[in-house]
Each structure stands twice: as structure tokens, then as C-alpha cells.
Amino acid sequence: MQLASNIILIGGSAGSYTLIAELLEQLPSYFDTAICIVLHRNRQYDTQIEKSLSRKLKKNIVSAFDKLDICKNHVYFAPAGYHLLIEPDFTFSIDSSEHINYSRPSIDVLFETAAQIYKEKCTAFLLSGANTDGAKGLRIIEEFGGRIIIQDPEVAPIRTMPLAGKRETLNPEIWTDSKIVSYFNTLN
């Protein structure tokens, strides 16, 4: 398995799961990037989402764990109950420090650490959610030269998180659901 030189990050909370499932379903059979997702969820449900998606879609969809290499053609979910971080040697690390924005995993933590490692090779999506996690992380990705995309608050089931993302950043791209899905569909 080859290390990915590009990374796509997705942060979502309440109201984002359906879109995440849909865009994963639309992924081509091979893509040259790593996709990494923080989805706020209850710790008790642990890895069921990855397991069922992986079974259904027959793709490399896994729960990230400590010191795992970040590879092309893989989708990683932040494990429930831990922050997910990216290390300078292009591996994951996990951390059970304090909740950020009442969340662990926190979208900000992943975004902020990925920004500094992948710089302009980092693309991030911030989706529906009822809190403001991810907004600061988006700004840091922007500062480090990455590309930032926010789900159109007008179509997001819960717009608090996309709105916070817009407020916090300078030049985010605002995309509809269909544009987001087609982006993943045409990844190569």
C-alpha cells in the first residue's frame, strides 16, 4: 500500500451522515488520495458505521488507529472517543485528551494537524452540524494553503456548522450536495 500525497478531509455532525454515505457510495473503484472523516457520534456505537459501509460498498473503509500509515485509495474514520491527528511521518496518531467543542473526536483537531502536514495538498469539507466544531480548523487549512469547501448552509439539514465555517474563513467554496457528490464521483 502506498502513502497518499493528497488528503481529503470531511467533518460532519448532526445531519451529515446521509450525505457522507452517499458520497462514499459514489467513489470510483480506485482513487489516488486518502479520505479521512470525523463524524461526531456516540462512543457506544464505536466502529459499526465503518464496518457496515465497508461491507456494503466493498471499499477500504476502516476505523483509523494509532500509528497507521495514511494510504491512497483508503477511507478512514476517526475512532469514537478519541481525537485523530496526523503526524509528520504521514501516520495517524490518536489522543484521548480533553473534548474540544464538546467533541471527541473533534473536527478542529484533525483539520488543524492535517493542514500543517499536507499544506496545499489538503482539501477539506465541512458539512451539516449543530455546533461550531471544524470552523477554526478550516481557517488553519486555508492559512496553510489548502482548499476549503463548505456545504451550502441553505441545503444543510442543520446549518450551524457550515455557517460557523463561513464566518471563520476568508474564501471558502460553498457547494450544493450534488456538487459535493459529483466531486467524489470523479475523483481519480
CA angle in degrees (0–180, nearest 5) for 129-165-136: 105
Q: Which is nearer to other proteins, 53 or 140 (CB)?
A: 140
Residue 94 interacting with other proteins (CB under 8 A): yes
What is the C-alpha to C-alpha distance for residues 186 and 188, in angstroms, rounded to an integer?
6
Choose, by CB under 8 A, the member of 8, 136, 146, 180 that binds other proteins: 136
Please, how many CA atoms are within 13 Å of residue 103, restricted to the half-sphere of its CB? 24
131 scored as a contact of other proteins (CB under 8 A): no
Which of 112, 122, 124, 180 is the binder for other proteins (CB under 8 A)? Answer: 112
Q: Give dist(CA 142, CA 120) in Å, integer.
A: 9
In sequence order, which residues have a C-beta less than 8 Å from that of residue 63 and are 6 or more positions away? 46, 47, 50, 76, 77, 79
**Under rule CB under 8 A, residue 95 binds other proteins:** yes
**Count of all residues that appear for the chain in the document:** 188
**Residues taking part in catalysis:** 13, 40, 133
- Which residues make beta-bridge pairs with 75? 35, 61
Site for other proteins contains 170 (CB under 8 A) = no
Using DSSP, how many helices (H) and how many strands (E) does the chain show? 6, 9
- Which helix (H) or strand (E) segment holds residue 148: the answer is strand 147-151
Site string for other proteins, 138-157 (x = CB under 8 A): -xx-----------------
Number of residues engaging other proteins in binding (CB under 8 A): 23
Longest dimension (CA), the chain: 40
Work out whether 171 is an interface residue with other proteins (CB under 8 A). no
Please identify which residue in 38, 86, 138, 164 interacts with other proteins, judged by CB under 8 A. Answer: 86
**If binding is defined by CB under 8 A, does position 93 make contact with other proteins?**
yes
Q: Determine, following the binding rule CB under 8 A, whether residue 67 of this chain makes contact with other proteins.
A: yes
Q: In angstroms, what is the minimal distance from the CB of 186 to other proteins? A: 31
The binding site for other proteins (CB under 8 A) comprises 65-67, 79, 82, 85-88, 93-98, 109, 112-113, 116-117, 136, 139-140
